[in-house]
Each structure stands twice: as structure tokens, then as C-alpha cells.
Amino acid sequence: EIVMTQSPATLSVSPGERATLSCRASQSISSNLAWYQQKPGQAPRLLIYGASTRATGIPARFSGSGSGTEFTLTISSLQSEDFAVYYCQQCDNWPQTFGQGTKVEI
């Protein structure tokens, strides 16, 4: 099983600042990585797939990068609605696995 490790567990930032979230895979997953945003009481929402492609309707301030084992989600200028938990998911092999999440808070 591929283990996905996200860091940090919690990221404290201010509106307008840049946020950088990391995700590491225990073995190479090429670019088969997705990022999700989850707000309290809501289902997860796909932000990024293929490591760097924004999903439909996702603002340009969200960007993804990386390949192999190291991946990054960057939010260029945090808006109030971006405070949430973010998960990465490897989609390269069964079982598909998620990271434990990064909470972005004020």
C-alpha cells in the first residue's frame, strides 16, 4: 500500500498570504495525484488532478506541482473561503490512498 504523508498537519496563515501544502508518497506515483478541499459539514471537492490540472470551476489561485513522490498545493493569496482541510490522494495504484489532511486556519 502506498502511504501518503501530508505536512504540516495545521497551517496558520492570514488572508492574502500564500499557503504551501506538501504531500509525499512512499513510492513513485508519477503524476497520478489529486487534491481535495473539505469544509466543515461538506463533502470533499476536487481541486487538482494529474498533480497540476485544476478541476472545472477551481480558481486560478490554486495550483499544484510535483511528480514522483513529492507534491505541492499552493494557494497564492488566501481568501476567507479557503480556510478548510486539504487532502491529497494517490490515484496510481490500488488501494487508492489519502493523506491525513492539512488544516488551513487563520
Residues that bind another protein (CB under 8 A): 1, 32, 34, 36, 38, 43-46, 49-50, 55-56, 87, 89, 91-101
Instruction: State the Cα–Cα distance between residues 102 and 86, nearest whole angstrom.
Output: 5
Least distance CB 15 / another protein (angstroms): 26
Sequence-ordered list of residues with C-beta below 8 angstroms from that of 43, at least 6 positions apart, any chain: none
Residue 82, classed as helix, strand or coil, is: helix
- Residue with Cβ nearer another protein (16 or 94): 94
Least distance CB 87 / another protein (angstroms): 6
- Grid coordinates representing 64 are 499544484
Least distance CB 53 / another protein (angstroms): 9
- Residue with Cβ nearer another protein (53 or 77): 53
Picking from 74, 37, 69, the residue whose alpha carbon sits closest to that of residue 52 is 74
